[in-house]
Amino acid sequence: MILQKQKELLEQIKQIILKGENKTYLSKISFDYDSTLSTAKGTELAKKLISENNDLYIISARHLKSGMLNKAKELGIPLNRVYATGSNTNKINKIKSLKIDVHYDNNENVIKQLEGIGKLFTND
């Protein structure tokens, strides 16, 4: 009896977490900045993903995030989700540490190292 009540309670908690505030599950999606989110195509994709209630991040190998903040503000991405990592190795490590579900990048080497979560972005 107690075990069944615990299972029911855990299921209720799970549903609350997955739905958030009456929203469906949010995926954590990140974009490289240069030649990806900085393009019109990248911006439109980001807007679409945001409208579908996904949490977006900007994760770049740039050394400073100041040049990316206007785009974040334009899209409504919280500034604490903008990362300038200084290198592709650090970018990959940040993506993994944040447990990003999907990362868009124009660098094939980065995509290869992301073990299935990387999506190659082309501006065709």
Other Cβ atoms less than 10 A from the Cβ of 75: the count is 16
Average of per-residue pLDDT across 30-47? 97
How far apart CA 58 and CA 52 sit, in angstroms, is 17
Reported as a pLDDT band with limits 50, 70 and 90, residue 10 is low
- HEC letters along the chain: CHHHHHHHHHHHHHHHHHHCCCCCCCCEEEECHHHHHCCHHHHHHHHHHHHCCCEEEEEECCCCCHHHHHHHHHHCCCHHHEEECCCHHHHHHHHHHCCCCEEEECCHHHHHHCCCCEEECCCC
How far apart CA 39 and CA 41 sit, in angstroms, is 5
Range of the domain at 78: 25-120
What CATH number corresponds to the domain at position 32?
Answer: 3.40.50.1000
Domain count, the chain: 1
Task: Quick: pLDDT tens for 66-92.
Answer: 999 999 999 999 999 999 999 999 999
pTM of the model: 0.80
4 in any annotated domain: no
Percent with pLDDT over 90 in the chain: 76
17 in any annotated domain: no
pLDDT at 98: 96
15 in any annotated domain: no
7 in any annotated domain: no
